[in-house]
Amino acid sequence: MNLDLKKLKLRSVNEKLQSIDRKKNSRKFTISNPEGNHAICAGLTENIDVTIKGHVGYYCAGMNQNANIIVDGNVGTGVAENMMSGKVHVKGNASQSAGATAHGGTLIVDGDTSSRCGISMKGIDIIVKGSVGHMSAFMAQSGNLVVFGDAGEALGDSLYETNIYVKGKVKSLGADCEEKKMDKKHKSKLKELLKKAGSNIKPDQFKRYGSARKLYNFNIDNVSNY
């Protein structure tokens, strides 16, 4: 079913996707002429497939549960923000705070992401085939961030238990983030993530970064890092 945003209001499109009749078989939708609208596909809860043909604005696919959403273009701030489950695949680039606070599901970005990718992520898997901007995975709590390209300044600042895998160069690490050993368990997990993204890159080409765990409890010797 095609939903044309030149003919339909965004509110009516989102309401239709948020209230799918489970007795009907229509589970595949295309949204045409998005023209940078904000909050497209926000709050979806059903297992449906939605393809957005063009660029979108802020908070696309925010709070997603179960839906499989493809954006055939670029996305603005906060794509898949607070996502719980499902999959969001961006064929272009993403602005800042991609996957922010997301608890689950998978976000794949074929291009680059801007600053704070994965900020405060809480279980989501984020796979970026390009590079990420500064302070990505800031205060990230759990989940995985995979970066095929480079990472900007202060990667993983104030990190908790998220695993970060970077193939390219890291400009600098944030407070309490350090390079970790890539053991068999992490190579196996990374292999699964790469498979999700349709990539044949070998896990051995990545470095892993994680929390040094020095900021879990207050220590006067580390006061400058708080």
What's CA 120's distance to the chain center, in Å?
11
pLDDT at 171: 98
Which long-range CB contacts under 8 A does 100-106 form with residues at least 24 apart? 102/126, 102/143, 105/64, 105/80, 106/196
CA separation for the pair 54, 162 (Å, rounded) = 32
Amino acid (one-letter) located at 29: F
Per-residue pLDDT of the chain (226 residues), as tens digits, is 899 999 999 999 999 999 987 777 678 999 999 999 999 999 999 999 999 999 999 999 999 999 999 999 999 999 999 999 999 999 999 999 999 999 999 999 999 999 999 999 999 999 999 999 999 999 999 999 999 999 999 999 999 999 999 999 999 999 999 999 999 999 999 999 999 999 999 999 999 999 998 876 656 666 566 5
Confirm if 51 and 31 have CB atoms less than 8 A apart: yes
- Label residues 43-77 b or e (16+ Cβ within 10 Å = b): bbbeebebbbbbbbbbbbbbbbbebbbbbbbbbbb
What are 214's strand-pairing partners?
A: none
**Which pLDDT value is given to residue 84?**
98
The answer to whether 118 and 124 are in contact (CB under 8 A) is yes
Q: What is the pTM of this model?
A: 0.94
CA end-to-end distance (rounded Å), the chain: 51
- In sequence order, the β-bridge partners of residue 167 are none
Rounded to whole angstroms, the Cα distance separating 98 from 93 reads: 10
Predicted pLDDT of residue 21: 78
Nearest one of 120, 96, 125 to 108, comparing CA atoms? 125
- The residue among 85, 86, 80, 92 whose CA lies nearest residue 117 is 80
